Structure formats: C-alpha cells, structure tokens
Amino acid sequence: MANSNVPVLAVRDLKKHFPVKKGLLRRTVGQVYAVDGISFTIGVGETLGLVGESGCGKTTAGRAVLRLTEPTSGTIEVGGTDITHLSKGDLRPYRRQMQIIFQDPFSSLNPRMFAGDIVGEPLLVHGVSSRKERQEMVAALFARVGLRPAQMLNYPHQFSGGQRQRIGIARALALGPKLIVGDEPVSALDVSIQAQVINLLQDLQRERQLSYLFISHNLAVVEHISHHIAVMYLGRIVEYADTRSIFVRPQHPYTEALLSAVPVPDPAIKRQKRVLQGDVPSPVNPPSGCHFHTRCPYVVPRCKIESPPLREIAPGHHVSCHLR
Ligand code: SF4
C-alpha cells in the first residue's frame, strides 16, 4: 500500500544547463542556466504552483522533472524512488505515473487523428491491446471530462479551445497517473473557460488524489488551484510557501511585484502597484550576486556580490533575499 507520507515528487537541487555553441567547430562558449538548483516536494493530492515570467526556467523545470529533458544534476524522486538515472526501460512504469498537459491543446493534438484515438493512444502504447476495451475506457474518460462519447469520432479542429484542453486532460488521465504537470494549461483559454477547466482539474484531484505541478506566468491563475507556490526567477526559486502566505505576506521583492499586478476582488484591500523595470536578464550571463538585483527597488551593495541562499524565515516559508 502506498505510504501517503512519502511525497509523490521530491526534487533536490535540480539543474538543467544548456551549452551555448559557436563557430564552425561548435565550441562550447557558455552555458544557459535554465534551471539552477531548485528543490521542492509535492504530496499526495497536492498542487504546487510554479510561477514566474517567461524565460525564468519553469517550463524546463517541468520537462526535467518528467525526464523529457535530461537534468544536468540533482535528483528526482517519484514516490520515494530516485528516477534521475533510470534507463528508458526502467523508467517506463514511472512514466505511466507522470503525465503532462500542454499550453496549446491544438498543437499538441494530432490533427489527422480522431479525438478518441488520441485519448486511447497511451492505452495502446502501454499494452491495452483490445480495441473494445480501449473504446470503453476512452468513452468513460470523455464523459468524465465533460465531452460526449459520440465526439470520439471528431477531429481536433471540430472542438473549441476549452474542449481541446479537455481532450488533453482525458489523454493525461488515461493511464491513471499520480502526478500531472500542467505547463500553462489554461493560458491560451478565455477567462470564463479557464475557470471551468480549473474546476475540472480540482474535481479530478479530489476524486483521484491527483498531485499537480501547475506551471504558470500568472499568480492569479495558480492561486485557486495551488496548496503551495514556488516563485522562480532566472532558474532559481526565490520564494516558496503555502499559497495563503504568498498572497498575504509575500517576502521577496519579486513576488511583491508579481502580486501587485494581480487584481484584488475586495475594493477595501488596496495593493501598491509595483511595475518591474526591464525584462528578465539573459540566463546565459545572469547578473552576479542576487539575480534580481538589476530590477530590485531595494537593492543594496551586498546584493551585487553575494547570492542570497533560500532560507526558512517562518515555518514552511522560504525566501532568498538578504533583507529578510
Ligand atoms: Fe533585492 Fe537584494 Fe533582496 Fe535581491 S537580495 S531581492 S537585490 S534586496
């Protein structure tokens, strides 16, 4: 029996660096520090929101966790087993447990396949060979995600954006995973449809004790679905806490700035607007010391020299900033 105290996913000091090659001889002249030493855990039935601007490394982190891209160093444990260096064959049972939902459901669905075959493909690959059995399982999945089983014979272009994301969710659910990585899974959808898809993901989580790594550039989107939030900046986690602490007592200047852009539904609560200057610097040559110092309104000389470690400043609340 699975021990619910063992995290579904435990990531320690995960790094993914890409070499930068130049010239005729393709010499390595530098590294892109896409993910630069991140650690987190996700418990059974929990959601971790991984948030940051585009280019901060969150998508690479999600792919590295699933070993869709090979990590440079660090460890990935799934249900207590270190899968970081497992061979393709040994990784297979763990692949079943970990699925991904992409941002753009249209480009991730084969336009020439029936929707039912798309959802049933993972079943076929993982050994459910009886067509009848597959069709029954797919029909049940269609019904569960709010599609009609009759739509199994439609092509992806015959569905709306929200329906296509439901197909993506049904496909991810097909093998009964424990963990789903959602890479901006609702960013391409209208706001009203976003809420429906998030509600569906939450219902499925309750029903199946699913764990999610929910990647988004938008704090407002992750608020409703996440139990914990990790804020990423240039390949590193700068703040990591439960969702309420992040929203009520943000401690890192970058989190404060991201939050100031989130609309507050209660007019009695006013947030000071903080507009971040400039773009995220290149991860090829990240700024020295604290990576955020080129944009931080509170920068002090020490910030340019010394990199602040991620410290626990209150139970479960971790921040990397010299001033906290
Ligand atoms: Fe700003 Fe310095 Fe804190 Fe970095 S360490 S977030 S630059 S105050």
Per-residue pLDDT tens digits for 237-265: 999 999 999 999 999 999 999 998 777 66
The number of beta carbons lying within 10 Å of the beta carbon of residue 322 is: 16
Whose Cα sits closest to atom 7 in ligand 1? 293
Atom nearest to 290 CA in ligand 1: 4
Whose Cα sits closest to atom 6 in ligand 1? 321
Q: What percent of the chain has pLDDT over 70?
A: 94
Looking at residue 1, its pLDDT comes to 42
| 286 Cα–ligand 1 center, Å | 14
| pLDDT tens digits, 47-69 | 999 999 888 899 999 999 999 99
Residue 271: is its pLDDT beyond 70? Answer: no
Atom nearest to 297 CA in ligand 1: 1
Cα–Cα distance, 315 to 299 (Å, whole number): 26
| pLDDT tens digits, 14-32 | 999 998 888 877 888 888 9
| 321 Cα–ligand 1 center, Å | 5
What single DSSP character describes residue 222?
H
Atom nearest to 253 CA in ligand 1: 6
Backbone angles phi, psi at 7, to 5 degrees: -60, 150
- Residues 192, 193, 194, 200: is their CA dihedral positive or negative? positive
Atom nearest to 302 CA in ligand 1: 2
| 296 Cα–ligand 1 center, Å | 6
Contacts 24+ apart (CB under 8 A), 84-90: none
Residue 2: is its pLDDT beyond 60? Answer: no
| 293 Cα–ligand 1 center, Å | 6
| 304 Cα–ligand 1 center, Å | 9
Q: Which of 236, 251, 277, 298 has the most ligand 1 atoms within 8 A of CB, as the residue to mutate?
A: 298
| pLDDT tens digits, 297-316 | 999 999 999 999 999 999 99
Pocket around ligand 1: residues whose beta carbon is below 6 Å from it? 253, 290, 292-293, 296, 298-300, 303, 308, 321-323
Looking at residue 35, its pLDDT comes to 95
Average pLDDT (32-53) is 95
Residue 270: is its pLDDT beyond 80? Answer: no
Record the tokens describing residue 242, joined without a space. Answer: 């439960």
Indicate the pTM of the whole model.
0.91
Mean pLDDT of the chain: 90
Q: How would you classify the pairing of strands 9-22 and 98-101?
A: unpaired
Looking at residue 24, its pLDDT comes to 78
Between the alpha carbon of residue 115 and those of residues 52, 58, 88, 163, 297, the distances in Å are 32, 29, 28, 11, 50
Looking at residue 272, its pLDDT comes to 66
Ordered by start, the domain boundaries in the chain are 9-97+177-319
Looking at residue 22, its pLDDT comes to 85
Backbone angles phi, psi at 59, to 5 degrees: -65, -40
| 212 Cα–ligand 1 center, Å | 30
| pLDDT tens digits, 121-158 | 999 888 877 889 899 999 999 999 999 999 999 999 99
| 262 Cα–ligand 1 center, Å | 22
Listed in sequence order, the DSSP H helices in the chain are 58-65, 88-97, 115-125, 131-144, 161-173, 191-208, 219-223, 243-248, 253-260
Fold of 9-97+177-319: Rossmann fold (3.40.50)
Whose Cα sits closest to atom 5 in ligand 1? 321
49 has which bridge partners? 214, 229
Residue 222: is its pLDDT beyond 60? Answer: yes
**Contact (CB, 8 A) for 126 and 184:** no
Residue 174: is its pLDDT beyond 50? Answer: yes
Average pLDDT (194-199) is 92
| 307 Cα–ligand 1 center, Å | 9
The number of beta carbons lying within 10 Å of the beta carbon of residue 320 is: 23
